[in-house]
Amino acid sequence: MVLNLRLQLACSLVAAMALGGCASDEGGLQSQKLALIKGRGELICGVQGTLPGFSSVDSDGSYKGLDVDICRATAAAVLGDPNKVEFRDLNPSERFAALASGEVDLLSRNTTYTLSRDAAGGNGLSFAPVVFYDGQGLMVPKASGITSVKGLSGKPICVETGTTSELNLADRMRELKAPYTPLKFQTSDQTYAAYLQGRCVAVTTDRSQLAAKRTGFPNPEAHVLLPDVISKEPLAPATVNGDPLWSDAVRWTVYGLMQAEELGITQTNVDAKVAKAKANPNLADLRRFLGVEGDFGKQVGLSPDFVVRALKAVGNYGEIFERNVGSGSVLKLERGLNRSWKDGGLIYSPPFR
Amino acid sequence: MDPRLKSPSRLARLRRDLFGTPLDGAITIALLAALGAGAQALLNWALSRADWAVIQANSTLLAVGRYPMAQQWRLWLLTGLLCSATGASWGLLRRRSWPRNDRIAAGLLLAMALVVPAALELGLDVRARWWAIAGLLLLARWAAGRWSHRLPLICQKLWPLAWPGLYVLGLGLIGGGLGLQPVRTSQWGGLLLTLIEASFAIVLCFPLGIALALGRRSELPLLRWGSTIYIEFIRGAPLITLLFLGQNILGFLLPGGLAPDRVWRAAWVLTFFAAAYVAEAVRAGLTALPRGQVEAARSLGLNSLQTVLHVVLPQALRVALPATVGQFITLLQDTTLLSLIGLLDLLGTARAIMANPDFLGRNAEVYLVLAVLFWCCCAALGLGCRALEHRLNRHSSTASR
């Protein structure tokens, strides 16, 4: 409580100073965090560090993954260089403290967007758009011929005990009025070993994990993920709640990656698109999006071409997805819910207007 | 001479110990068969089913983490210096003699320098560095053993002081500064980080532990209670709790920038943690000292400080050494907990490697290499300390009698 009061006091002081600043410097929105990052010349990004496809360390010591690319895109948008990122591996228990204490500027660590994490009365984070709609899925041997959860009625299913996966599975099967035999194991290794021995016809956990585990199987092609998703795990980057301008900068950088996919702008053709926008004053939408005209960048505290910088660094959302977890990776995850809304998915950017 | 009194030959002794009775023989054969089967299964796995590409591709990462490639010459230089110093100390200890253990050690070293880089498929330039460093170590051993007696005695006595100097120099080389390009702690990793954290904690927890042990036996109540509370508090909390505490709380308590960064935070927590256990080991040594020793020292006219420095500590530490060394080895292994707080120590790096989509499912290979590396480090620490123990005891037997 004491901390909260102090925080409020500090915030009101900062607000008062900011207002004072506004009076003298017309319209110049101030963000402490942005100023800090620009002054430091480096973005500090909290990642998981050991999650295949999302963040891991390559043999040459560089980080790679979907979460990592979000960090790089943000660094490119803010600082103009996707390599000016310092990655911090964070564990689940310290991630929010690290963000709140300012040790990391941005948390891009497969964090599920929930009420208690977003609420000021909870962890008080400010979430950027969801970058990966994960969810609990089921994997079955291709040879079993099962194509949906319904088909698992009356069959044994392997699950790790004490996890939310176990509860979600029970809820879902009760809903479907499908009896099943749960085979519960203490560790994930035991669970997959039992599945591979054929003691159960399906194994369940988050879909991204299933896909990662599958690549370690003796014969990965013989197993498929069912299309059904039985729980919601929307993973989103997060910033601390007290700095709206910084949160906006991150949010719209991520939206920019999604919007670019919708507009068909990729890492390779972005320069051509910019040239086209510059040459043609009638393409007002494109010109504003790419920062050729308008002040969208300024409104979120960034340079006018922040989207172009991010795209040049990591490509659009679809490219990031395919490269790290999709068809271009060993995980071979289907886009599923992570398709653009135009293709029936949930990836949807509000208009850049 | 009665042949029964002669010590039996090695073969005869083996036969007596392992095949004394039919039951003994059966047990021996069963155990040998089990061992053989296990070894065969392991070899079979290691040679045919395991894919060692994960280790070959990531050997640099395991060794030094994300340390910038362009600055790695500093680490090679440091390794060279450390190996030369090791060779020199070794030579000073043994003089011109090459006992069998030394010959075995030298042989192992040479074999390692030849086999390991080849197994890792390192480039020829890197292999040459391995050979050079192994050669340097043995050369220093030979030279120091051969010619050190010509050096003035004071130089030989002062040589151990080179080690702390080398340690500070090493930290400077690793971290940079003073004209060298700084390498931030977030880029330290792998075996390098593990060794830095462990050595830092080992070096500092020892004096701290002695101070705490003396404090706990002090006659000043404030000092005694302070030390006791500290020791009991630290021993009452698991290390991982303290590490989390250090990582999570310091950021809030100290204003931004003032808190030591994560690597040093963890190093200090390890130090403070180990100090409490070392203190208890030293206290055991202090307790084992007969009261007469202190009384005799006093009656000779030594003051308290002199009594502690010249009479109490030398004897107490000798008793406490084995337990303290055990504590050091535990400490080295405890550094693996750092991977849980997100530092890329040896285990943390290994987990990052196992998460690399290119090497998914290669956990067994990585963990096996990790086990071997840790075993080597702990064995080296144990051997070094045993040699020290041996030397101290030899010293005592000639001095005190």
pLDDT digits (tens, 9 = 90+) for A289-310: 999 999 999 999 999 999 999 9
Query: Is the CB of residue B255 less than 8 Å away from at least one CB of chain A?
Result: no
| pLDDT band (50, 70, 90) for residue B12 | confident
- Report pTM: 0.83
**Would you say residue A22 has pLDDT above 50?**
no
Looking at chain B, which residue has its C-alpha nearest residue A332? Answer: B357
Query: Is the CB of residue B357 less than 8 Å away from at least one CB of chain A?
Result: yes
Query: Is the CB of residue A88 less than 8 Å away from at least one CB of chain B?
Result: yes
The Cα of A288 is separated from the nearest Cα of chain B by a number of Å equal to: 38
Q: Mean pLDDT across the stretch B340-344?
A: 86
Kindly state the percentage of chain A with pLDDT values over 90: 57
Q: In terms of C-beta density within 10 A (0-12 exposed, 13-18 middle, 19 or more buried), how is residue B59 classed?
A: buried
Q: Do B343 and A89 touch (CB under 8 A)?
A: yes
Q: Do B355 and A56 touch (CB under 8 A)?
A: yes
Report the C-alpha gap between B374 and B346 in whole angstroms.
9
Check residue A227 and give its pLDDT.
Answer: 85
CA atoms within 13 A on the CB side of A224: 11
Q: Which of B59, B184, B247, B353 to mutate to test the interface with A (most CBs of A within 10 A)?
A: B247
How many residues make up chain A in this entry?
353
Using CA atoms, how far residue A86 sits from A68, A202, A260, B320, in Å, is 10, 40, 26, 44
Please give the residue that has the higher pLDDT: either A73 or B1: A73
Give CATH for domain B184-401.
1.10.3720.10
B289 and B312 in contact (C-beta within 8 Å)?
A: yes
CA atoms within 13 A on the CB side of B287: 9
Query: Is the CB of residue A17 less than 8 Å away from at least one CB of chain B?
Result: no
Which residues does chain B have within 8 Å of residue A217's beta carbon, measured at their own beta carbons?
Answer: 361
Q: Do B251 and A98 touch (CB under 8 A)?
A: yes
Check residue B398 and give its pLDDT.
Answer: 44
Query: Is the CB of residue A153 less than 8 Å away from at least one CB of chain B?
Result: no
Indicate the residue of A62, A101, A331 with minimum beta-carbon distance to B251. A101
pLDDT digits (tens, 9 = 90+) for B233-258: 999 999 999 998 888 777 677 665 56
Domain spans of chain B?
71-175, 184-401
How, if at all, do strands A63-64 and A56-57 pair?
A: antiparallel
User: Do A136-231 and A31-133+234-343 have the same topology in CATH?
Assistant: yes
Q: Tokens for A328, please give them.
A: 């271009």
Q: Which amino acid is at B355?
A: A
Query: Is the CB of residue B60 less than 8 Å away from at least one CB of chain A?
Result: yes
Buried b (16+ CB within 10 A) or exposed e, A203-213: bbbbbbbbbbb
Q: Mean pLDDT across the stretch B182-197?
A: 92
A277 and A290 in contact (C-beta within 8 Å)?
A: yes
**Would you say residue A333 has pLDDT above 50?**
yes
| pLDDT band (50, 70, 90) for residue A256 | very high
| pLDDT band (50, 70, 90) for residue A158 | very high
Query: Is the CB of residue A220 less than 8 Å away from at least one CB of chain B?
Result: no
* Mean residue pLDDT across chain A: 87
Query: Is the CB of residue B199 less than 8 Å away from at least one CB of chain A?
Result: no
**Least confident range of B108-117, B253-262, B318-327, B382-391:** B253-262
Class of the domain covering A136-231 = alpha beta
**Would you say residue A208 has pLDDT above 80?**
yes
Q: Tokens for B136, please give them.
A: 């340097």
Which residues does chain A have within 8 Å of residue B352's beta carbon, measured at their own beta carbons?
Answer: 49-50, 56-57, 89
Please tell us whether the domain made up of A31-133+234-343 is placed in CATH 3.40.1170.60.
no
The Cα of B68 is separated from the nearest Cα of chain A by a number of Å equal to: 9
**Would you say residue A173 has pLDDT above 70?**
yes
Which residues does chain A have within 8 Å of residue B348's beta carbon, measured at their own beta carbons?
Answer: 49, 89
Looking at chain A, which residue has its C-alpha nearest residue B254? Answer: A101
Which residues does chain A have within 8 Å of residue B60's beta carbon, measured at their own beta carbons?
Answer: 59, 61
**Would you say residue A4 has pLDDT above 50?**
no
pLDDT digits (tens, 9 = 90+) for B316-335: 998 898 899 999 999 999 99
Cβ-Cβ pairs closer than 8 A, A with B, add up to 94
| pLDDT band (50, 70, 90) for residue B360 | confident
Q: Do A49 and B60 touch (CB under 8 A)?
A: no
Model ipTM value: 0.80
Q: Which of A83, A96, A103 to mutate to test the interface with B (most CBs of B within 10 A)?
A: A103
The Cα of B339 is separated from the nearest Cα of chain A by a number of Å equal to: 9
Domain spans of chain A?
1-29, 31-133+234-343, 136-231
Q: Mean pLDDT across the stretch A194-219?
A: 87
